[in-house]
Every structure is written in structure tokens, then in C-alpha cells.
Amino acid sequence: MQARDILGLLAGTAAVAMAASATAQSDAKARVDSAKAAGIVGEQADGFLGFVTPSADPALKAAVAQINAGRAELYRQAAARNGVSPEAAGAAAFETVVKAKLQPGEYYRPAGGGWVRK
């Protein structure tokens, strides 16, 4: 196999992996959005998702973990760019972005408080 054939194979494999990842992210987002609308999952002041009510659904737990992992990476990157801690970046994201996107009826948990319905 020549070098260009190997590069083509690697590029094709990477494209398939990225497409699968995008689909998984889309599926996770849809599952979480549905759970947020149902009052099962809510947004927390630390910038992460949390369970308003316990859930035994392993697919929902996996979706929440996947989205939280993605957020954690974004918060680490933002923290490094801005010279703050990832925790501060997550809290700032909650206050400036996440809180504004809450839909009526969805839940959020402010710092030091219990779950509140918007």
C-alpha cells in the first residue's frame, strides 16, 4: 500500500468516526432536551447538567455524562484562555449562556440552592 493510499484510508476512517461522534452527540442532546422538558434533568450553577429526579434510564444517564464531558472540556479550554479555573468558567457559562436559554417549565439549580422551575 502506498503512502497516499494509507492517508486516504486514514482520512476516510476519521470522517466516519467524526460522523458517528456527531450522531451520538445529536442523539444525546435530543435525549437530554426531552428529559429537561419532562423535568427529569436540569441545569446547575456549575454549568453542568444534573438530575432533578432520579432516573433509572441508563441511556439518559449516558447522555447526561456525554454532554457533561463535552462541557467540561469547553470549560477547561475557556479557563486556559482566560486565566481562570474550569469551575469559574463553568459558573460563568451558566450565568451568561445556559441560564438565558432555559425554557419555561425547565429546572435549574442556583449555587447553594435547590431546584427551581423557570
Task: Give pLDDT tens digits for 34-59.
Answer: 999 999 999 999 999 999 999 899 99
pLDDT at residue 22, rounded to an integer? 54
Other beta carbons within 10 Å of 15: 10
- At 23, is the pLDDT very low, low, confident or very high (cuts 50, 70, 90)? low
**Are the C-beta atoms of residues 42 and 118 closer than 8 Å to each other?**
no
pLDDT at residue 24, rounded to an integer? 59
Mean pLDDT of 8-28: 51
Q: Between 16 and 64, whose confidence is greater?
A: 64
pLDDT at residue 9, rounded to an integer? 37
Q: Which of 36, 70, 69, 65 is nearest to 53 (CA)?
A: 36
Q: Between 60 and 9, whose confidence is greater?
A: 60
CA distance 84 to 80: 7
Task: Give pLDDT tens digits for 70-104.
Answer: 999 999 999 999 999 999 999 999 999 999 999 99
pLDDT at residue 26, rounded to an integer? 86
pTM greater than 0.75: yes
